[in-house]
Amino acid sequence: MLKEILLVIGAYLVGSVPTGLLLAKALGGVDIRTTGSGNIGATNVYRTLGKKVGIMTLVGDCLKGAIPVVIAQQMGLSVEWSAAVGAAAFLGHVYTIFLGFKGGKGVATALGVFLAMAPLAVLCALAVFIVVILTWRYVSLASISAAATMPIFILLLGNPPPIVVMTLLISALVIYKHRENIDRLRNGTESKFKA
């Protein structure tokens, strides 16, 4: 039990590392929280500092979710504990202890968690993301759509209950963290994605 608890705590701390903030300061000399949308995630970094740093942030945030889950799986943790590790890594990003429990929206970190736990469901949600962003050009709408459909894919593909519960938690929080984007989408003031 101690091993499992330590892994959950470790996953939260790994998830808490503010990748976008650190990269933006190191490579652009800016506090990403004071520019653009003020979010520390890959989309704001991309818009502020360009494609290279944006992609680095995306990969870093994704790895924060994937690595703890892979370690848990390699150590033989049960699916319940592996799901708890994945949820902890995600919560670390969204509510990072290093920034006063104010973090990002969790999309990339959730992607990492699901790539490690349910890769086929990720492919399905990714297809939704791509269709939405190519059609409407809103990253937020694509992220919300992928989050909303992910629990459906998880269920349809027969994943065990702990993963279903974890997915519902993550999806609900991703959508909740996009509430300001939802308001802007309704008002027609949301920024469109430019490649």
What pLDDT score was predicted for residue 55?
A: 97
pLDDT of residue 194: 82
On the CB side of 51, CA atoms within 13 Å amount to 3
Q: Is 159 exposed, middle or buried (0-12, 13-18, 19+ CB in 10 A)?
A: buried
| Alpha-carbon span 146 to 133, nearest angstrom | 11
pLDDT of residue 21: 97
Per-residue pLDDT at 136:
97
Q: Count Cβ atoms below 10 Å from residue 173 Cβ, excluding itself.
A: 19
Domain boundary assignment for the chain: 2-187
CB-based contacts of 67, cutoff 8 Å, min separation 6: 14, 112
Which stretches of the chain are assigned E, i.e. beta strand? none
For the four alpha carbons of 151, 155, 156 and 158, in that order, the dihedral sign comes to: positive
State residue 154's pLDDT score: 98
Q: What is the DSSP string of 162-174?
A: HHHHHHHHHHHHH
Measured CA to CA in angstroms, residue 55 lies from 42, 62, 150 at distances of 7, 10, 23
Q: What is the pLDDT along the chain (195 residues), one digit of tens a residue?
A: 899 999 999 999 999 999 999 999 999 999 999 998 999 999 999 999 999 999 999 999 999 999 999 999 999 999 999 999 999 999 999 999 999 999 999 999 999 999 999 999 999 999 999 999 999 999 999 999 999 999 999 999 999 999 999 999 999 999 999 999 999 999 999 999 886
pTM given for the model: 0.96
